[in-house]
Structure 1
Amino acid sequence: MTFKILLSGVTGRIGSQVLHQALRNPSVSSVIALSRRAIPDLEGCKKVEVVLLDDFTRYSDEVLSKLSGADGCIWCMTTTAGDSMLELEYPKAFADAFASTMVNDTKRFRYLHISGAMVERDQTRTLWLKSSMRKIKGQGELQMIDFSRNNERWETIIARPGMVVQRGSLVGEASMMVAGSSGSFIRFDELAVALVDVVINGSDELLLPQVLLERGQRLMRDAGENQRQFT
């Protein structure tokens, strides 16, 4: 099996981990990393190509030719600030641009959109905590789901991870010990390996925190067992 993945947000904390796991996955044949700046650490890595974009609302014919033929995308460009440009305009511009390359394509393209555990799609609901951010992210989810409903060859999956923590850190491991089993917290590597697996193999349309945690931990456990068998 070969799988060409597009990634955004590759210099962020989640995106960089997703890139790392994608490069390790034998089913991934190539990775196109969309970035504003060069990534020196990736120079010489034949499996990845960094495509530089100054403006994530514009995709030239040259850029689209590099994206063409991809099997899936993990959209990691997100923040906790609720920036409408980042949450709404950038992913929609990407979808419109990439869809133009799918005219003669018979396969389905799988788009995985990273959101958040407390996101709210109902724009009329009164929220007491981070209302604007949660609703903007909710708009982003609905926007990309609507896009898939209007394009039969496009599949949208929404991932809502809990709080993402660093493996081995004192705070992170304490958080996992206290509330990790509920999905409220997830380690970066567990989330990343789950996301790569989802974009390759698919899932339900909405991935809630506990499902992501269980999937990530199972994959990490299986990978560790396989590694021990060959050592």
Structure 2
Amino acid sequence: MKLIVAGATGFVGTEVIRQALSHPGVTSILALARRTTPVPANAGPGADASKLQSVVCDDFENYSDSVKQQLSGADACVWLIAVTPSQLRSMPWEEARKICYDYTVKGLETIGKLSPASGKPLRFVYTSGANSERDPSKKPFILGDYCVMRGETENFVLKYAKDSNGAVDATVAKPGLIDAPGKWGIAMRVLSTIGRSIIGLPKVELTEIAATLIDQAVNGIEKDTLLNEDLVRIGQKVSGESE
């Protein structure tokens, strides 16, 4: 299958590509990003680097004909373009909303109209966050506007799929803290554990969420919302089967 990874140069995107290079169900990886996407350094002996095609997009609100042509015929898309809470401090709110909401809307509207080569629905796997809130009346006390905005994006993705007459099948992945070996020092790991306890944020390993996103894209969507516990469950199962 032909898989788009949007946000290919990011933390999770790099791991998705690393695993997809060795996945027998993925024949082509379209790495969508603002810059050229390299083959991950730790791709592994079973990786097929020839699968990777870098698709550089200068404007995620206006896809060029060239980019559309490169993305045409994809069977699935793992969408990872977003602003994390830690990045909010360094950019205006309007910019954060544009990246999280506007880019997703335009991306789905564009990719959703590029018919998969298989003739089957496009599988769109949108990655959000555990604390995102789809009901504005239940705005969280911490990062309330951000959580509601991410929830608004989730609502759009699911409604678009529902109204697509079978052209798009979508799921929303809602991970908590995404952890990986070496990501945190001892002090930061302690602080993150305390922080997660205070706000009730669950944790998922990087390898687990990447394995789950690929599985949903390749093998079919289990349900329209994948909570952190689902990402851990599916990721561990898939990883166990591949060993």
Whether TM-score is above 0.5 comes out as yes
1:161–1:208 Cα contact (<8 Å) kept: yes
Indicate yes or no: 2:234 matched with 1:215: yes
CA 1:220–1:26 in 2, change beyond 3 Å: closer, same or farther? same
2:75 to 67, 71, 82: 71
Give the equivalent residue in structure 2 for 1:167: 181
* 1:23 aligned to which of 21, 27, 48: 21
| Distance verdict in 2 for CA 1:105–1:186, change over 3 Å | closer
What is the letter of the counterpart of residue 56 of structure 1? F
**1:28 Cα deviation after fit:** 0.1
The corresponding residue for 1:156 is 170
Deviations 1:74-128 (A, max 9, x none): 0011222462111111111112222332399741110000001111011122421
Matches within 5 A, 1:1-231: 3-41=1-39, 45-81=49-85, 83-102=96-115, 106-152=119-165, 153-167=167-181, 171=189, 184-201=202-219, 202-224=221-243
The 2-side partners of 1:23 and 1:168 are apart by 23
User: Would you say how many aligned residue pairs link Structure 1 and Structure 2?
Assistant: 217
TM-superposed deviation, 1:38: 1.6
Identity %: 27
Deviations 1:141-174 (A, max 9, x none): 00111111221211110000121111366639x9
The answer as to whether partners of 1:18 and 1:196 remain within 8 angstroms in 2 is: yes
Name the SS for the 1:24 alignment partner: coil
**Equivalents in 2 of 1:212, 1:103: separation in Å?**
26
Return 5+ residue gaps in structure 1 as ranges: 225-231
Which of structure 1's runs of 4+ aligned residues deviate more than 6 A? Answer: none
Contact 2:130 2:175 in 1 (8 A): yes
Whole-angstrom distance in 1 between the partners of 2:222 and 2:9: 26
Q: How big is the shift at 1:47?
A: 0.4
